[in-house]
Structure 1
Amino acid sequence: MTVQMNVMISADDIQAKVKQLGAAINQFYANSNKELVLIGLLRGSVIFMADLCRAIEKPHELDFMTVSSYGGTSTVSTRDVKILKDLDGDIEGKDVIVVEDIIDSGRTLSKVMEMLKTRNPNSIELCTLVSKPSRREIELDVRFLGFEVEDRFIVGYGLDYNQKYRHIPFIGEIGL
């Protein structure tokens, strides 16, 4: 299969944005005496979160969740969010940032946020590298936003097509 890809966001632009987001997080939590926890939603957030955590000066923990709103091999969301891998640590009383690679409809992330709020964190914020506002079905308050893009099928820097292309250092539009 031949895949064509057009660069939408360069590797240099991504790294500059990650540094900006890290600086914004540093400033936002500068006066907080609470522990900070970054929660990455697997798998797409891993590359972004690895770079982001190095841009954050405040000591912090990393934790991960795997959630799914798809049943079996279906490509249609059931809208019933299932936790496939839960957090290893407790977030009660801590400042939490949920780190996501991309926000489309917002449905799954909205459910995740609801679940995490029941665990009594001190605060909970969202950080995403990419947002597709034209696809949003549920509005979310994204405190730390990287890039807004049009509704295109994109891959790279953690974003995948059939588990491929996560490794490329830029974000590109893919044409199959």
Structure 2
Amino acid sequence: MDQNDLGTDIEKVLVTEAQIKHRLMELASDIDRDYHDREILLVGVLKGAVMVMADLARALHNPVRMDWMAVSSYGSGTKSSGVVRILKDLDTDLKDQHVLIVEDIIDSGLTLSWLLSNLRSRGAASVEVCTLLRKPEALKVDLDVRYVGFDVPNEFVIGYGLDYAEKYRNVPFVATLAPHVYR
């Protein structure tokens, strides 16, 4: 899928496919360096982090294990609902594990704050975060995020795993939608 396939749905491309690939390689290098002597468990947050997790894992040189968790604070709208629900829990026991949460985007930070607390309470040796995107202007809680791909404006974005009403996840770049799409 490319921008031509989307017709008038895209208002503006914020991060290109090439920029994403380059930045994920840089993040993988940092993670390899920081975890060179420890095995890490990548915990992907479904559904949005699928693309980020797959490409990040392939870029890492150290062996990793992977698991998935689905939590939701979004409906079909463009704003967080603030209510966190576990839709799919981890299959892995986190006791003494070095966990790296892989996120697509940090918006208000409320869901991630809850997730960090939840995973730390399970006895993990460490819990850190890697996110492709962060919206600094939208943050409602103070979060220590170790690996950040890009800071983006406080606008609703789609692509590279991010959706609007379950569409646009397979767009290989990050963009804003034209207003006519979600009115």
> TM-score, length-normalised on structure 2?
0.88
Identity, % of aligned pairs? 44
Deviations 1:17-40 (A, max 9, x none): 0000100000001133xx310001
SS across alignment from 1:79:
coil
2:128 equivalent in structure 1: 125
Correspondent of 2:104 among 89, 98, 101: 101
Residue 77 of structure 1: how far off its partner (Å):
5.1
Contact 2:100/2:127 (8 A) holds in 1: yes
Please tell me the residue identity of whatever aligns with 1:107: L
SS across alignment from 2:24:
helix
CA separation in 2, counterparts of 1:84 and 1:124? 20
1:63 is aligned to 2:58 = no
CA separation in 2, counterparts of 1:144 and 1:82? 25
Correspondent of 2:57 among 53, 57, 64: 53
Range with greater deviation from structure 2 (46-55 or 79-88): 79-88
Residue 68 of structure 1: how far off its partner (Å):
2.0
1:171 is aligned to 2:171 = no
Correspondent of 1:8 among 9, 14, 19: 14
Range with greater deviation from structure 2 (45-54 or 154-163): 154-163
CA separation in 1, counterparts of 2:15 and 2:160? 10
Structure 1 residues 160, 55: CA separation in 2 closer, same or farther (over 3 Å shift)? same
1:43 equivalent in structure 2: 47
2:157 equivalent in structure 1: 154
CA separation in 2, counterparts of 1:17 and 1:75? 26
Residue 173 of structure 1: how far off its partner (Å):
1.5
Residue 94 of structure 1: how far off its partner (Å):
1.1
CA separation in 2, counterparts of 1:55 and 1:63? 17
SS across alignment from 2:82:
strand
Long gaps (5+) in structure 2: 1-6
Range with greater deviation from structure 2 (161-170 or 78-87): 78-87
Correspondent of 1:18 among 17, 21, 24: 24
Residue 80 of structure 1: how far off its partner (Å):
3.6
Long gaps (5+) in structure 1: none
Residue 109 of structure 1: how far off its partner (Å):
0.7
Higher strand share: 1
1:82 equivalent in structure 2: 85
Contact 2:80/2:108 (8 A) holds in 1: no
> TM-score, length-normalised on structure 1?
0.91
Number of residues of Structure 1 aligned to a counterpart in Structure 2: 173
Structure 1 residues 69, 9: CA separation in 2 closer, same or farther (over 3 Å shift)? closer
CA separation in 2, counterparts of 1:92 and 1:155? 35
